[in-house]
Structure 1
Amino acid sequence: MTWLMPAETASQDRIWMAFPREGQTLGETSAEREAGYAAWAHVANTIAGFQPVSIIVDPTEMTRAKGLLSSVITIHECTIDDFWMRDSGPTFVHAADGTLAAVDWVFNGWGGGDWTESGNDRDLARFIADLAGVPVVPSLLVNEGGGIHVDGEGTVLLTETVQLDPGRNPNLDKTRVAEEISRTLGTTKAIWLPRGLERDYETFGTRGHVDIIACIPSPGVILLHDQRDPSHPDHAVMQQIRTQLAGETDAQGRSFEIIDLPAPETLTDAHGPVDWSYVNHLVINDAVIACSFGEERTDAQAQEILAAAYPGRQIVGVDATELFARGGGVHCITQQQPAPRVS
């Protein structure tokens, strides 16, 4: 069977999310937890204004979820551990005949750590595939949706510190990982980035997810996180990655046009250098749900760049500071379900 993950700009049937439940990443205080619940609900309600949203809710959070979520959102009850749907949920792909299937990666809590629990998420991809009425594509690769990005034409962006992480796939090398990615996603060219942003290697980080660094809004084009302040550790990281990508070609042999997405001006928070990034946006059918950070100039600049990169789509900013305080952004908490492809 041949599978192909379409570009994120392909037509979608719905967006999947998971509602937060109490745990280490949600927050230690009542105020922090409430802010987390509100942030997830705001993203879900915003998307639901454009297209269907289905959300997985742990039994302990059903009352709260129903009170915060729009009535047009479909709620499915299921015991879960994590609520970063991009990572714990399935990755949807097309079969050769255009029908849909769901890749079931092994999710072990971003390489495992004493702060993570993933036992209840082991069957989440299959649970969602059943709700969507699509077959499962099983995989033994430990991987997360935030650790991959495709252009729908054979190219995939990966990160050495994610798929080759000893806590994820200790016995695999680049060749074997690329072969499994090719089998499940239909890619023919893997571009390996050396690492991710500095903050992503702290306790609650993913150790280098690509969806905060780079994305491909259209074939041959890369939107790239651009930390311009030399005092920030990500400045050197992104200079290295930009130089690499400038010398790469995609699966079709095209050199990339690189469009810089400047980072917000805020450099630090109470925990050190921030990893705030406008790259971590969600593309839906008629809009782009963009991260904003309460910075009038850079938020507007980023939205202008996104509008040019995604012509015909409305750019909608949502405050992502509470999301990033917990380890990710809008893209990290969502997963698109493409529409079946019509031949």
Structure 2
Amino acid sequence: MSWSMPAEFAPQDRVWMAFPRDGYTLGDDAEDAELARQAWANVANVAAEFEPVTIVVDPSARAHAARLLSGEIDQVEAPLDDFWMRDIGPSFVVDGDTGALGAVDWVFNGWGANAWATWENDREIGTLVGEAAGASVLGSMLVNEGGGIHVDGEGTVIVTDTVQLDPFRNPYATKALVERELARTIGATKVIWLPRGLTRDYLSPGTRGHVDMVAAFAAPGVLLMHAQNDPSHPDYSVTRQLRAVVDEATDAAGRPFDVIELPAPETVRDHEGFVDWNYANHLVVNGGVLACGYGEPAADDRAAGILADAYGRSVVTVDARPILARGGGIHCITQQQPSALRAEVADALALEADEVVA
């Protein structure tokens, strides 16, 4: 098999999500919990207008899921600890020879064994989703999450030093070892290492530097990047540091990057400190883009226009403030399944080809 990870703007078969359940992320009271459930449900219901959606539901959340989710959304029941599908689920890949669908089941350990996280159930979701999708499940010894990588579909992958080289994730890893594993699992031929992520991502709860909060490929050679333009925000210097790295880099084809900036909204702080509100953390679906909204019409509309121009697709803005307050964005709670031949179909075609040759 020759596995590679398609770009997120490639054709998709469906979107996978996980529905909120009681726990440390959901909220401290009933009102806060309902805000979270509604935010996740809004994303699922909007995504279902573009393509099929399947959502994993913990048995304890069955009634809430039935109440809030569109009847068009497929549900799979399984125990969950949390509900960030990008990270607990698999990263889907496709075999270049047969078109078979694969699912990379990274090791998940609560974003680096954080004291606030539990993952006994979540570590099983990669295999569960991969098998439910009809994919061949690829095991990996690398502790990693889907939000910690972003690919262009042509061999380029962006990662961060503080995720893949995190001593609480991969204490014995080197860049060379990580790059070899990314080549084996997702077909990476060029790895771009960003030094870090956004400031708030290093607080609790946080991922210690996920790349999907700062950058996203809109096309091969075209990179959308978060830009914090308020000098009072610590990410003012962070985003310029990241931009400087990208400006010096080239992709797998040797091209310099055409960088499109996504300016942050005007809000700088919330009740917990500096926010990580950004528009880089969006979901691309067939014919559309789901963008994070922050209740700032001018900033949200500006970002929607940039995304529409970059992808050539319609953009739907969904209020993401309850999601960001819990540590991520729309991209973090979703996982796209690329269009590919099912494994059993690909195997049959391969057998048929072998018989013809024989």
User: For this structure pair, what is the TM-score category when the shorter chain's length is used for normalisation?
Assistant: over 0.9
1:123-142 deviation line (CA, Å, top 9, x unaligned): 21111112111110110100
Map 1:144-183 → 2, pairs under 5 A: 144-183=145-184
**How far apart are the structure 2 equivalents of 1:89 and 1:280?**
17
Alpha-carbon RMSD across the aligned residues, in angstroms, is 1.1
Q: For 2:327 and 2:124, how far apart are their aligned partners in 1?
A: 23
Counterparts of 1:321 and 1:129 in 2: how far apart (Å)? Answer: 30
Q: Which runs of 5+ in 1 are unaligned?
A: none
Q: Which residue of 1 aligns with 2:333?
A: 333
**Aligned residue number for residue 11 of structure 2:** 11
Structure 2 Cα separation of the partners of residues 221 and 327 of structure 1: 26
1:285-304 equivalences in 2 (<5 Å): 285-304=286-305
Q: Percent identity?
A: 56
- Measured in 1, the distance between the counterparts of 2:89 and 2:11 equals 19
1:4-153 pair list within 5 angstroms: 4-96=4-96, 97-153=98-154
Q: How many residues align?
A: 342
Q: Which amino acid aligns with 1:292?
A: G
Displacement of 1:26 after TM fit? 1.1
> What's the CA shift for 1:50?
1.3
Aligned to 1:234: 235
Please name the residue that 1:279 is paired with. 280
Task: Output the amino acid matched with 2:287.
Answer: D
CA apart distance, 1:100: 0.5
After the TM superposition, which of the residue ranges 2-11 and 120-129 deviates more from structure 2? 120-129
What's the TM-score once normalised by structure 2's chain length? 0.94
Q: Which residue in 1 is equivalent to 2:324?
A: 324
Supply the distance in 2 between the matched residues of 1:121 and 1:321 (Cα, whole angstroms): 24
| Deviation, structure 1 residue 30 | 1.1
Structure 1 residue 157, shift from structure 2 partner: 0.2
* 1:254-293 deviations in Å (ceiling 9; x for gaps): 0001111000100000000000010000000010001111
- TM value normalised by structure 1: 0.98
Cα distance in 2, alignment partners of residues 114 and 23 from structure 1: 14
Q: Secondary structure at the match of 1:119?
A: coil
Alignment deviations for residues 34-71 of structure 1 (CA, whole Å, 9 cap, x no partner): 10011000100111111100000000000111111000
Measure the CA separation in 2 of the matches of 1:258 and 1:133. Answer: 36
Moved over 4 A (4+): none
